[in-house]
Chain A
Amino acid sequence: MNVLDLRDAARAHRPTLTVLPHLVESAKATWTGRMINEHGSAQVFEALAVQLAAAGLEASRVDEVRGFADEERRHGVLCGAVVEALGGSALAEVPSPEPVPMHADARSPLEAALRNVLSICCLSETVAVALIGAEREEMPEGELRTLLTTIWADEVGHARFGWKLLDDVAPALDLATRDRLGDYLVVALEHLVRHELVHLPLASAPPPEGAVLGLCSGRDARSLFFDTVWSVIVPGLEARGIPARRAWAAARARLTSEAAAA
């Protein structure tokens, strides 16, 4: 385990929060989790930047992705600032980072990079746009909402990067490549469901005033998550010639059979 210590940086950004003593512990846990997730995501974008460079993409795109890594670190600080404002400490033990797969089994460096772009930008970050967007709308005006808006705006940029890249490169992809990306999507979607559901526990059922501190209903968020996949991500990928509908059906079949066997 490693230690993530953002205390000094976070304390400079502490927002003024509404005092809700009965929700403080939940809020601390939530924002600590977000701090860890966000800060840890920096390495995902750093690895993606390296991969995009190796695939021969323009330097401007590579630089943009490196910037995303900086933004994720900043988000970690901002989430830590909320922890500090709640009376907690922006300090946590974190697991050693997982290696980001470079997909050596892909047929080309571009295809390998697109796998990660699909997973990171078109799936994870697009879901984040919906989930954080909803939380932001539920939150009353104030410093925390401003902080959340900052994070959300960046997440929009991260997601849009992937969709824009697909717009630019997908027309030149042959059918076989699109088909293989569809195969990867099965894995990526299954992984997405597992990841999101673990982080959207049904047990999270705060009272209505919890929205003030960014506490969301796990059940609501799960519902929105699945709608985002089905209503936005799948048609978005299909529109770019990636067989996402087939992939989603396959991913669901895998998850369902696993749950039935459990």
Chain B
Amino acid sequence: MDEQIRKNALRAAARVALGITALGATTGVTAACGGGLAPVRTDDAYLIDEPPHEDGSDILAAADAACDAPADGGGADCEKVLADAAADPAFAELLEWRFEKPVSMPPISDELRACCDADLHDPAFRFGGRVLCCNVAGDGITSNGGAAGCTPWGPAVPPAMFAPLEVA
């Protein structure tokens, strides 16, 4: 997906949820869509925040490079690079920034390994997509097996409540 399209889509959702109109956004939302909210911000920096430490991106890039070389033992290199990276505070912060999950590697978590092994080979998903592809929940749920494409439209029936879990 083109990055600008992605931003525009997020802006459209943000306009709805946050009442924000980004300067220059041409999402096509009209008054008929319930538009008309006054713009309260003119930038979209809140949407596409930079990671807290750019060095973390560099580490990820190094891991990517290692993972992209399966022919010369890339799997092992990948493991080593990621193990080294896991000990780096910048990497941990980077993961926290987008993953919001504890980083307790090494050893490398299965999810990160799986991400390394599969998802990172897609050059279109170097960074932003990477962390999302690492979402173990996403890959732990089987597809619907029937529909061939994306059919997320229409709200599902809301769930009933259960007793909330204690979260550490």
Residues of A within 8 A of B (CB): 25-27, 29-30, 32-34, 37-41, 44-45, 72, 75, 79, 97-101, 103, 105-106, 115-116, 119-138, 149, 151-161, 163, 183-184, 186-188, 190-204, 206, 214-228, 230-233, 235-236, 239, 246, 248-250, 252-256, 258-260, 262
Asked whether A126 and B154 contact (CB < 8 A) given A215-B149, A224-B9, A258-B137, the answer is no
Q: Does B55 contact A (CB under 8 A)?
A: no
Q: A219-B122, A258-B140 are in contact. Are A129 and B12 (CB under 8 A)?
A: yes
How far is A131 from B1 in the complex, measured between Cα atoms in Å?
A: 11
Q: Which of A196, A214, A249 contacts B167 (CB 8 A)?
A: A249
Flag if B2 contacts A222 (CB, 8 Å). Answer: no
> Inside 8 A of A39's CB, which chain B residues have their CB?
154
Find A27's partner among B8, B19, B128, B149 (CB 8 Å cutoff).
B149
- B149/A204 in contact, CB under 8 A: yes
Shortest C-beta distance, B30 to chain A (Å), equals 7
Residues in chain A near residue B128, CB distance under 8 A = 223, 227
Least Cβ–Cβ distance between B13 and chain A, in angstroms: 4
Q: Are A202 and B28 in contact (CB under 8 A)?
A: no
Q: Could you tell me which B residues sit within 8 Å of A by CB distance?
A: 1-2, 5-6, 8-10, 12-14, 16-19, 27-30, 32-35, 46-48, 98, 100-101, 110-111, 122, 125, 128-129, 132-133, 135-144, 146-162, 164-165, 167
The residues of A that contact B111 with a CB separation of less than 8 Å are 256, 259-260
Whether A197 contacts B101 by the Cβ 8 Å rule is no
Which secondary structure dominates chain A's binding surface?
A: helix
Residue pair B161, A134 in contact (C-beta under 8 Å): no
Shortest distance from the beta carbon of A260 to any chain B beta carbon, whole Å? 7
Q: How far is the CB of B45 from chain A (nearest CB, A)?
A: 11
Q: How far is the CB of A52 from chain B (nearest CB, A)?
A: 13
- Return 21 A-B CB contacts under 8 Å, by A number: A25-B148, A44-B157, A122-B17, A124-B155, A126-B13, A128-B154, A130-B9, A159-B16, A183-B161, A187-B159, A187-B160, A197-B137, A202-B138, A218-B143, A218-B149, A223-B133, A224-B9, A228-B9, A250-B167, A252-B100, A258-B140
Does A218 lie within 8 Å of B150, measured CB to CB? yes
In the complex where A159-B17, A231-B14 touch, is A256 in contact with B149 (Cβ < 8 A)? no
Given contacts A184-B161, A253-B167, contact A220 B12 (CB under 8 A): no
A157 and B33 in contact (CB under 8 A), knowing A120-B158, A134-B8? yes
B152's partner among A217, A221, A252 (CB-CB below 8 A) is: A221
Shortest distance between the CB of A41 and any CB in chain B (Å): 3
Contacts of B159 in A (CB 8 A): 101, 119, 187-188, 190-191
